[in-house]
Amino acid sequence: MAPFKVIVCVLFLGINFHVSAQTHPVLYGGFEYYRNTGFSNNSIGNFNVGAQVYQWKFFAPEIGYDLYFGALNDQNILNPIDPNAQSLERLEKSFNASLFTLSPKLKFGKDDAFLTFSPKYHIGSVRARGDYLFLMNNGDYGLQERQKTSAPVSFWSFSIGLEGLALKTESYWFSLAVHYMFLNTDEAFQKLDFSEYNIRTTFSNSSSIGLGLRFYWDAFAK
């Protein structure tokens, strides 16, 4: 919780300054897509909403809410004898995470184009789901058991990108950024217990890299 408190203090301390560029919140919404840095067959999506609280020179802090979702496709159970044969059983794992975010974003540039750097702190919970499937006589997989678990999580992510005006109006602008994050879902997945089926699962969750597109709306722009 210490990083969370530090960012909150910095954010609200900045409100006391005489802000020259932006004195009111600007709303945003966006989407991000990630791939595991180990290049395994895992992908993560993210919907995010929030606000750029104010801007003072190059300092433009943001608060928001992120919803992550994804699946660990590389950890499905395969046929231990013939990897090319259809496996008799599968364990499919997926997750979603609800997170509040704080970011002391930095912006460098002119009025209509900026280079941005955003360290962002996330705090919330991860919900994991495991589905044990068994191959039936008709060739389809049937659900034998489903388990759901949850765990608290907090982590940092970092992004660098570009912001610019959209639709030739100061009311709307967009951001395109490269993101690097450290979301760790291991604690939630390790609570899944399919030991009665003699299934041993591995839990490895490294960092992820992705692209994000975001749109801002300044309702107070003239």
* pLDDT over 60 at 9, yes or no: no
pTM of full prediction above 0.75: yes
| pLDDT (tens digit per residue) in 76-108 | 665 556 666 677 788 888 999 999 999 999 999
pLDDT greater than 50 at residue 40: yes
Residue listed under structure tokens 């190059």: 58
pLDDT at 41: 72
Average confidence (pLDDT) over 18-28 = 71
Specify the range with the lowest mean pLDDT, choosing from 61-65, 72-76, 77-81, 216-220.
77-81
The verdict on domain 2-217 having CATH code 2.40.160.20 is: yes
